Structure 1
Amino acid sequence: MTGLYSRPLLQVILVGIVLLLTSGMFNALNGMGGGGQLDTKMASNANVALYTTFSVGGLVAGGIVNIIGPKYAMAIGGTTYALYAGSLLNYNHNKNDAFVVAAGALLGFGAALIWTGEGAIVTSYPSEKNKGKYIGIFFGIFNLGGVLGSIVPLVLNWNSKEGSVNDGTYIGFLVLMSLGSLFALALLPPSKVIHKDGRPVAVERFPSWTSESIEIGKLFLDLRMICLIPMFLASNWFYAYQFDDVNAFYFNIRTRALNDVLYWTAQIFGALIFGKFLDTPLFGRQKRAIFGLLILFFTIMATWVGGLIFQISYKRSDVVTPMDLFDRGYAGKCILYIAYGLNDAMYQLYAYWIMGALTNDTALLSRYNGFYKAIQSAGGAISWRIDAVGTAFLPQLLTCWILLIISIPGAMFVALNVKETNYVTEDKDKVEKAAIGDGKVGSVNNEVASAI
């Protein structure tokens, strides 16, 4: 059993379960708009605080994960999700905005830890031929949290006439998020994860905070990371618009919950199918990177054209009678919301996959993912703030759409420079370091040949 437990796939599945119970449940709660509350401004302000601290935390999270390990980083991060659910339970009774905003700020730091640890694992543990598959499996399990988490408020609030979810909903989220934090402690350290062929996961340890700080600083000089900044920035920008300005504004509480279920269900299928495509042996890895990005572009354009058609039918100042799932005209709007979820899954998966195509080293990918989450969260903080101050819906939609389009050229530059494999270069680097340390520089070439 020990051998099976140390396999990359099982560890990726376990990470998926941890995120299912923490961030997946948060997504279900957040996806209903306003954290399940009628007053979305409070939750928007909490999200501004969350994404602001997430952005700052993301810059240092890679170093923290490398030093204390993904297991402890993710366990610590998981506790902040339970605290946030508890703050919303408190809000149901005391209307304490400050507590929710403070909990959101702490959650930002916790989310940076849990997502950076997750990103390092799911992008570095798989072999190169399985990265799309493993990332797709992770997102499938993770988004199952959004589905299951959305079923809870759907069932508990099916006959509710209120605009906010009940106490039982928040208590359920609090318990599940706490379990997610405990599950993280079952993860193995990267040094004990072994591929089926006996090859260890690539791990490079840095012994001090100074070393990690230097390596993190180098990311801002990495042309590939700079080119991916627009993609990272856009990758969570649309949540404020989709969750608050579409779902919370236009639909009643049970329909919001159903939309949430369908949104995250679409993500499961989108991640698994797109991940499978990015691993197809029919094309080389560089062509898969290019074709995958083109598919993503056309999917984005089709979806947001539909979103524009829907958005011009209403505006923020309208007094809207919330639509119910049995009302005429709901089907078309439901399909659009499903397409939003499908787009999100494909976009996030591609960002992970393209980073994983740049290296196989766990420590380096910890930094890449921390950088990704820092930029992503900065975008999230800005977008939630734009929504919180009452910006009109149409400009918000157009901003989301334009940012997604702008992200394509930089990502294409990186895709055009993807190598067919990183094993040769990375194995050579490891052998050279070992040879220098042993004073056997003259024999490096022979050792490299035998290693690859």
Structure 2
Amino acid sequence: MAIQYSRPLVQVILVGIILLLTSGMFNALNGMGGGGQLDTTVASNANVALYTTFSVGGLVAGGVVNIIGPKYAMAIGGTAYALYAGSLLNYNHNKNDSFVIAAGALLGLGAALIWTGEGAIMTSYPSEKNKGKYIGIFWGIFNLGAVLGSIIPLALNWNSKEGSVNDGTYIGFLVLMGLGSLFALALLPPSKVFHKDGRPVAVERFPSWSSEAIEIAKLFLDWRMICLIPMFMASNWFYAYQFNGINGFYFNIRTRAFNDVWYWAAQIFGALIFGRFLDTTRFDRRQRAIFGLVILFVTFMATWIGGLIFQLTYKRSDKVTPMDLFDRGYAEKCILYIAYGLNDAMFQLYAYWIMGALTNDTAQLSRYNGFYKAIQSAGGAISWRIDAVGTAFLPQLLVCWMLLVASIPGAMVVALSIKETNYLKEKDNNVEKPSTGDSKAGDVTDSEAV
């Protein structure tokens, strides 16, 4: 069967490729600790700038995406990733902290655009019975970028005795990130994307800036968004601790890259499996929301208990000889790091899924995703600043863990409010109930078929 470019699944896959080349590569670079630099402080300060502007940009990005469309928003946002890689290349020669921090600030604005556009597409294009599957497919493709991106520094720095990666690593990232920005121009506008039965996924409304500002302001009065703030806040908080406090501090450069490969590979596996569970027809949608949250709680509690045991073996003030992947005792530390990656994918996938369960409207999901990224990035800015000022690792771990636990009650309240379908409620808003053939569980129809 010929693949139709206007099908939702094709567009979601394309979005995955765009994020693979941009944010996926950034994650590979960032995941090595300090952006691959010996001194992690400059990258931590750049991340503070990045997440600060990301937080502010996220609040308005939903309106921008609704007005100019996800294609142009993501293309513009993608260019900032290449600039950031270039700033680290420059730092290898000139030690120019200011350029890296400024590039990080611009990247925050670009990331707000690219992630809000991605979120709106990923949560609104699939039909309700496929949202977990589609989010899982996207997350798998996106993190394949981080896996491949981690192989670049692993291969180029396998025999390196330096504390930072070489120029070729940054040049490779720069080129790939630039390609991601160009690929965004291949996206179709939402009004030209159709399900198999001919239903459009959305109707473009071309709202005014003033109406968008009002709708964004209303998010702060939406009790569901308020309940999800702890989950949004916690969802990126742990990166500073995991990337700098564990990977960047404890391991040598090639082992950091090797850990990165497995961290992001675990995310692919976790997203695909958990996404399938959130779409299972064995339980109704509210039950899936509740059971999914219980699974999240159990997995991150087990993982962070293991993390605490490991963290009690060293302090930030220790003069640690960086561990190599062939050293005795490395395997169990690698398994822990893999578990952290698995947790990350499941936690963020659930956040996207539960937003997608609240509505099918593309414009509203743009705002939800912008709000999510704003709160998430505010948390990220705080956590990277905590690391940049030299906070001990044990308190960082405990705060990460506490925030994850604190996210469960609010998410449970929202989970209990989930309805089996939003199609009937939203029929008057041009989001129609699927045809009879699409409504049968397990059919390979609608947006599943390409």
Q: Please indicate the TM-score interval, normalised by the length of the shorter structure.
A: over 0.9
Amino acid of the structure 2 residue aligned with 1:10: V
Paired with 2:391 and 2:203, the residues of 1 have a C-alpha distance of: 46
Paired with 2:59 and 2:352, the residues of 1 have a C-alpha distance of: 17
Paired with 1:326 and 1:49, the residues of 2 have a C-alpha distance of: 36
Q: Is contact 1:286-1:415 (8 Å) kept?
A: yes
Paired with 1:295 and 1:192, the residues of 2 have a C-alpha distance of: 38
**Normalized against structure 1, the TM-score is what?**
0.94
Paired with 1:106 and 1:253, the residues of 2 have a C-alpha distance of: 27
Amino acid of the structure 2 residue aligned with 1:52: T
Question: What SS does structure 2 have at the residue aligned with 1:4?
Answer: coil
Tell me, yes or no, if structure 1 residue 411 matches structure 2 residue 411: yes
Q: Percent identity?
A: 86
Structure 1 unmatched runs, 5+: 433-452
1:278-427 to 2 correspondences below 5 Å = 278-427=278-427
Corresponding position of 1:211: 211
Q: Is contact 2:191-2:204 (8 Å) kept?
A: no
1:72-87 to 2 correspondences below 5 Å = 72-87=72-87
Q: Is contact 1:21-1:179 (8 Å) kept?
A: yes
Give 1 or 2 for the bigger CA radius of gyration.
1
Corresponding position of 2:146: 146
Question: What SS does structure 1 have at the residue aligned with 2:425?
Answer: helix
Query: Post-superposition shift, 1:206?
Result: 4.3
Paired with 2:33 and 2:347, the residues of 1 have a C-alpha distance of: 21
Paired with 2:430 and 2:245, the residues of 1 have a C-alpha distance of: 51
Are residues 431 and 232 of structure 1, via their aligned partners in 2, closer, same or farther at CA, if it must alter by over 3 Å?
closer
Amino acid of the structure 1 residue aligned with 2:132: G
1:35-74 to 2 correspondences below 5 Å = 35-74=35-74
Equivalenced residue count is 432
Q: Is contact 2:263-2:338 (8 Å) kept?
A: yes
Q: Is contact 2:63-2:213 (8 Å) kept?
A: yes
Question: What SS does structure 1 have at the residue aligned with 2:424?
Answer: helix
Query: Post-superposition shift, 1:337?
Result: 0.0
Corresponding position of 1:197: 197
Corresponding position of 1:448: none
Corresponding position of 1:270: 270
Paired with 2:87 and 2:3, the residues of 1 have a C-alpha distance of: 41
Q: Is contact 1:206-1:212 (8 Å) kept?
A: no
Question: What SS does structure 1 have at the residue aligned with 2:359?
Answer: coil
Corresponding position of 2:16: 16
Paired with 2:12 and 2:86, the residues of 1 have a C-alpha distance of: 28
Query: Post-superposition shift, 1:2?
Result: 9.5
Query: Post-superposition shift, 1:428?
Result: 3.6
Question: What SS does structure 2 have at the residue aligned with 1:418?
Answer: coil
Query: Post-superposition shift, 1:278?
Result: 0.2
Amino acid of the structure 2 residue aligned with 1:208: S
Query: Post-superposition shift, 1:197?
Result: 1.4
The CA RMSD measured in Å over matched residues stands at: 1.2
Corresponding position of 1:113: 113
Amino acid of the structure 2 residue aligned with 1:117: G
Question: What SS does structure 1 have at the residue aligned with 2:158?
Answer: coil
Corresponding position of 2:223: 223
Question: What SS does structure 2 have at the residue aligned with 1:39?
Answer: coil
Q: Is contact 1:203-1:363 (8 Å) kept?
A: no
**Normalized against structure 2, the TM-score is what?**
0.95
Paired with 2:430 and 2:192, the residues of 1 have a C-alpha distance of: 18
Question: What SS does structure 1 have at the residue aligned with 2:260?
Answer: helix
Are residues 415 and 269 of structure 1, via their aligned partners in 2, closer, same or farther at CA, if it must alter by over 3 Å?
same
**Structure 1 residue ranges (4+ consecutive) displaced by more than 4 angstroms after TM superposition:** 429-432
Paired with 2:197 and 2:271, the residues of 1 have a C-alpha distance of: 27
More helix by share: 1
Paired with 2:184 and 2:10, the residues of 1 have a C-alpha distance of: 13
Paired with 2:25 and 2:83, the residues of 1 have a C-alpha distance of: 13
Q: Is contact 2:264-2:341 (8 Å) kept?
A: yes
Paired with 1:298 and 1:166, the residues of 2 have a C-alpha distance of: 40
Corresponding position of 2:183: 183
Q: Is contact 2:66-2:207 (8 Å) kept?
A: no
